[in-house]
Structure 1
Amino acid sequence: MFAVYASAPHADDPMAGLTIGERPEPSVPEGWVRVDVRAASLNMHDVWTLRGVGIAAESFPMILGCDGAGVLADGTEVLIHPVINAPGWRGDETLDPRRTLLTERHQGTFADSVVVPAGNVIPKPPELSFAVAATLGTAWLTAYRMLFVQAGVRPGQTVLVQGASGGVSTALIQLASAAGARVWVTGRTEEKRALATGLGAHATFEAGARLPERVDAVFETVGKATWSHSLKSLKPGGTVVVAGATSGPDPSADLQRVFFLQLRVLGSTMGTRQELVDLVSFLRLHDIRPQIGLTLPLEQATDGFRAMLDGETTGKIVFTR
Structure 2
Amino acid sequence: MKSIVITGHGGNEVVSLIQGEKPLRQPGHALVRMQVATLNRVDLYMRNSGAGITHKLPQVMGIDGAGIVEEVDASETDLTVGQRVTLYPAVMCGRCEFCQRGEGVLCNKIQYLGEHRDGTMAQWVSVPVQNALAIPDGLSFTDAAALCGNHLTAWRMLFTKARVQPGESVLIFGIGGGVSLAALQLAKLVGLTTFVTSRSADKLSRAAALGADHCIDSSRQDVAKTVLALTQGRGVDVVIENIGGDTWPQAMKSLVRGGRLVTCGATAGDQPPADLRRIFIRQLQIMGSTLGDLSEFRQLIAFVQKTGLRPVIDSTYPMEQIHTALDRLEAGEQFGKVVLSLQD
Q: TM-score, normalising length from structure 1? A: 0.96
Matched, 1:69 2:90: no
CA, structure 1 residues 250+299, in 2 after alignment: closer, same or farther (shift >3 Å)? same
Q: Deviations over 1:88-131 (max 9, x none)?
A: 34321111111111022321110101111111111001210001
Aligned residues: 317
State the 1:28 CA deviation.
Answer: 1.4
Q: Which amino acid aligns with 1:62?
A: Q
* DSSP 3-state at the match of 2:335: coil
* DSSP 3-state at the match of 1:68: strand
Q: Which amino acid aligns with 1:99?
A: I
Matched, 1:161 2:182: no
**Structure 2 stretches lacking a partner, 5+ long:** 71-80
Picking from 124, 127, 130, the partner of 2:135 is 124
> Equivalents in 1 of 2:331, 2:237: separation in Å?
32
Aligned partner of 1:20 in structure 2 is 17
Does the 8 Å contact 2:172/2:194 carry over to 1? yes
Picking from 51, 54, 57, the partner of 1:56 is 54
RMSD (CA atoms):
1.2
Q: Single out whichever of 21-30 and 226-235 deviates more from structure 2.
A: 21-30
Picking from 180, 184, 202, the partner of 2:191 is 180
Matched, 1:2 2:2: yes
Does the 8 Å contact 1:227/1:250 carry over to 2? no
Q: Which amino acid aligns with 2:40?
A: N
Q: Deviations over 1:295-316 (max 9, x none)?
A: 1122211111000111111011
Does the 8 Å contact 1:170/1:199 carry over to 2? no
Q: Which amino acid aligns with 1:151?
A: A
Q: Which amino acid aligns with 2:336?
A: G
1:132-151 correspondence runs (5 A): 132-151=143-162
> Equivalents in 2 of 1:197, 1:116: separation in Å?
39
State the 1:87 CA deviation.
Answer: 4.5
State the 1:6 CA deviation.
Answer: 0.5
1:129-278 correspondence runs (5 A): 129-207=140-218, 208-209=222-223, 210=225, 211=227, 212-213=230-231, 214-278=235-299
State the 1:5 CA deviation.
Answer: 1.0
Aligned partner of 1:45 in structure 2 is 42
* DSSP 3-state at the match of 2:64: coil
Aligned partner of 2:300 in structure 1 is 279
Does the 8 Å contact 2:66/2:87 carry over to 1? yes
* DSSP 3-state at the match of 2:244: coil
Q: Single out whichever of 29-38 and 167-176 deviates more from structure 2.
A: 29-38
State the 1:43 CA deviation.
Answer: 0.4
Does the 8 Å contact 1:177/1:200 carry over to 2? yes
> Equivalents in 1 of 2:20, 2:106: separation in Å?
32
Does the 8 Å contact 1:238/1:262 carry over to 2? yes
Q: Deviations over 1:251-295 (max 9, x none)?
A: 311111111100000000100111111111111211110000111
> Equivalents in 1 of 2:253, 2:116: separation in Å?
39
**Structure 1 stretches lacking a partner, 5+ long:** none
Does the 8 Å contact 1:3/1:110 carry over to 2? yes
Q: Which amino acid aligns with 1:32?
A: H
> Equivalents in 2 of 1:24, 1:253: separation in Å?
49
Which structure has the greater CA radius of gyration?
A: 2
